[in-house]
Amino acid sequence: MLSAVGWAAQTALAQPETDPLWEIGIGAFGLVAPDYPASGESAFNGLALPYGIYRGEVLRVDDEDGARVVPVETQAYELSLSAGAAFGARSEGRGVREGMPDLDPLIELGPQVIFRGPGFGPETRRGRIDLALQARVVASLDVDTGSVAYRGLVVEPELAARWPDALGAGTELRASVGPVFATEALQAYFYDVRPRFVRAGRPAYEAQGGYLGTDLVVSLSYDLTQRFTAFGGVSAASHAGAANRASPLFEEDLTGAAFLGVAVILSESARRVPRRWADR
């Protein structure tokens, strides 16, 4: 995220209403988060890898909403296919899951509808609130064998706000909140205790589908130059009233997470495309 704030302000004001069709860069980030929803154990995970951004008419891979396919987009709404992912967690030495199988990384894919909401703030720093309705298929990935296993469905209605230049030129403040509902299969992946894993203080338990929790995320990004961005954020998850609070693997009603990272653009296309509704 330029050492001279004045330069950043000038570039932000001069930025055209277009973006490169594609960008290639390197990014790195670290995340401290619970092993799974309502876990009392947290772990640090990090990644450093090349990344690509593509702003096509239908196929999009960007820093705004991740990877998605957008067949329909208007000023009022967007219909798209989106993806997500989550780190796995080891069970060895991890309290209530000691002796149980590890949790593999999760990948998600499914449709979403985003309704463009009202704007707020001054005209030169206009923010916006959107409502997203998401439903995704969840699968786990065994990194040792490369096998993929179906883990259920998740539904996440989300109210999200973004505010460009909220804390000065080159910054963008984001916040989102929404409940999470999961099918029995996914809840079982987190909270089931099968008879062979029963031990003192960990009785058998069969999970049920329903409410998983409510997530609140606040993040801030800062463009130090046109090619170098730093970002970070915190999140809180409330699991009070969750469907599987009776599971011996359910430990905390309130959990938190934090992340921090950087991204550097190494190359970009000469061709530029009009800025999408989502980015205006």
Say whether pLDDT at 3 is over 70.
no
pLDDT tens figures, 219-263: 999 999 989 999 999 999 999 999 999 999 999 999 999 999 999
Residue 125 has what pLDDT? 73
Q: How confident is the model at residue 64 (pLDDT cuts 50, 70, 90)?
A: low
Res. 13: pLDDT tops 60: no
DSSP the chain: ----HHHHHHHHHH--SEEESEEEEEEEEEEEEESSTT-S-EEEEEEEEEEEEEE-SSEEEETTTEEEEEEEE-SSEEEEEEEEEE--B--TT-GGGTTSPPBPPEEEEEEEEEEEEEEES-GGG-EEEEEEEEEEEEEEE-TTT--EEEEEEEEEEEEEEEEETTTSTTEEEEEEEEEEEE-HHHHHHHH-B-GGG-BTTB--B----EEEEEEEEEEEEEESSSSEEEEEEEEEEE-TT-TTTTSTT---SEEEEEEEEEEEEEEE-S-EEEPPGGG-
Of the given ranges (57-61, 93-97, 150-154, 228-232), which has the lowest mean pLDDT? 57-61
